[in-house]
C-alpha cells in the first residue's frame, strides 16, 4: 500500500493518498484545498486517482471535491447522513457519488478500505481503516477530538464513536484530518495514554471534560 499524508490549505488540514501498488489506483481522502498538489503527488507516484472519499461534510474537507473529481473523473464516496450537506459542494452533474455506511468496504485494487461510521462531529462522519492505518477525519485528533458545537454535532454520539475506536488494536496508527497535535500522527494505544478525551470511560467524565455538566 502506498500512503501519503499531505498537509493542505491554511487550516492545518491533512488530505491523504492511499494507493495500490499493483493496479496503480489511488484514493484521495478529503479534498478541501490544493487539488493540483494532490494530483502532482499522484503523478509522481504513477497513480491514477479513481476515488475520492470524504470523511465528513465540512467545507475545509470537501470544497475542492468537485474540482478534483472533474479533473480526474474519480468517483466520490461519502456517508449517507452527510449526503445533503456535501451535495451542495458538488455541482458537476457528471460526478458519480456513492453513499457509504458503517462496515462498508471501498476497494482499491486489492486494498480494502473499511468504513467505520463515527457520528458526533457531524452526523455522517466516518473513519477509514486501511491495513493498520486509521484515518480519523475530525473525529479523533492527536491528543484532541473534533468539535461537537457545530450544526449536526452531538457530544454523546461522539463519545460512543470514540468507544468504538477504542476497540481497535492498540498498534493501529491514527491519521487525523488536521495537524493539531505535537506530532502529525499517533496510535490507538498512544491516544489511550495521552488523549484526555479518548481516556474517558464514562459519558459523565466525557461531558464534564467538555464543560457540559
Ligand atoms: Fe470538521
Write out pLDDT tens, residues 115-141: 999 999 999 999 999 999 999 999 999
As given in the structure block, the three cell numbers for residue 8 are 493542505
What's the 22 CA to ligand 1 centre distance in angstroms? Answer: 33
What's the 121 CA to ligand 1 centre distance in angstroms? Answer: 7
Residues lining ion ligand 1 (Cβ < 5 A) are 58, 138
What's the 23 CA to ligand 1 centre distance in angstroms? Answer: 32
Q: How far apart are CA 118 and CA 79, in angstroms?
A: 10
CA 44 to chain CA centroid, Å, is 23
Kindly give, in sequence order, each residue whose CB lies less than 8 Å from that of residue 39, ignoring residues fewer than 6 positions away.
49, 68, 71, 72
pTM of the model: 0.97
Considering the segment(s) 2-209 as one domain, its CATH architecture is 4-Layer Sandwich (3.60)
What's the 192 CA to ligand 1 centre distance in angstroms? Answer: 22
pLDDT, one tens digit for every residue, the chain (213 residues):
999 999 999 999 999 999 999 999 999 999 999 999 999 999 999 999 999 999 999 999 999 999 999 999 999 999 999 999 888 899 999 999 999 999 999 999 999 999 999 999 999 999 999 999 999 999 999 999 999 999 999 999 999 999 999 999 999 999 999 999 999 999 999 999 999 999 999 999 999 999 877
As given in the structure block, the three cell numbers for residue 18 are 492511499
Per domain, the residue ranges of the chain are 2-209
Residue 42 phi, psi (nearest 5): -65, -40
Amino acid at each position: 500500500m502506498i500512503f501519503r499524508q499531505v498537509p493542505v490549505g491554511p487550516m492545518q488540514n491533512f488530505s491523504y493518498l492511499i494507493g495500490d501498488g499493483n493496479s496503480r489506483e489511488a484514493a484521495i481522502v478529503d479534498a478541501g484545498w490544493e487539488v493540483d498538489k494532490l494530483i502532482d503527488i499522484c503523478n509522481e507516484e504513477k497513480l491514477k486517482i479513481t476515488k475520492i472519499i470524504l470523511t465528513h461534510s465540512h467545507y475545509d474537507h470537501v470544497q475542492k471535491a468537485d474540482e478534483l473529481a472533474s479533473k480526474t473523473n474519480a468517483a466520490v464516496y461519502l456517508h449517507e447522513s452527510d449526503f445533503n450537506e456535501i451535495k451542495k459542494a458538488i455541482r458537476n452533474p457528471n460526478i458519480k457519488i456513492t453513499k457509504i455506511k458503517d462496515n462498508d468496504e471501498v476497494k482499491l485494487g486489492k486494498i480494502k478500505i473499511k468504513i467505520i461510521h463515527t457520528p458526533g462531529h457531524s452526523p455522517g462522519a466516518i473513519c477509514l481503516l486501511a491495513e493498520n492505518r486509521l484515518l480519523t477525519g475530525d473525529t479523533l485528533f492527536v491528543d484532541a477530538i473534533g468539535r461537537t458545537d457545530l450544526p449536526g454535532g452531538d457530544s454523546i454520539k461522539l463519545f460512543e464513536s470514540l468507544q468504538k475506536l477504542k476497540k481497535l488494536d492498540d498498534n493501529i496508527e491514527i491519521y487525523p484530518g488536521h495537524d493539531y497535535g505535537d506530532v502529525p500522527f499517533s496510535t490507538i494505544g498512544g491516544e489511550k495514554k495521552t488523549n484526555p478525551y479518548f481516556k474517558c470511560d464514562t459519558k459523565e467524565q466525557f461531558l464534564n471534560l467538555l464543560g457540559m455538566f
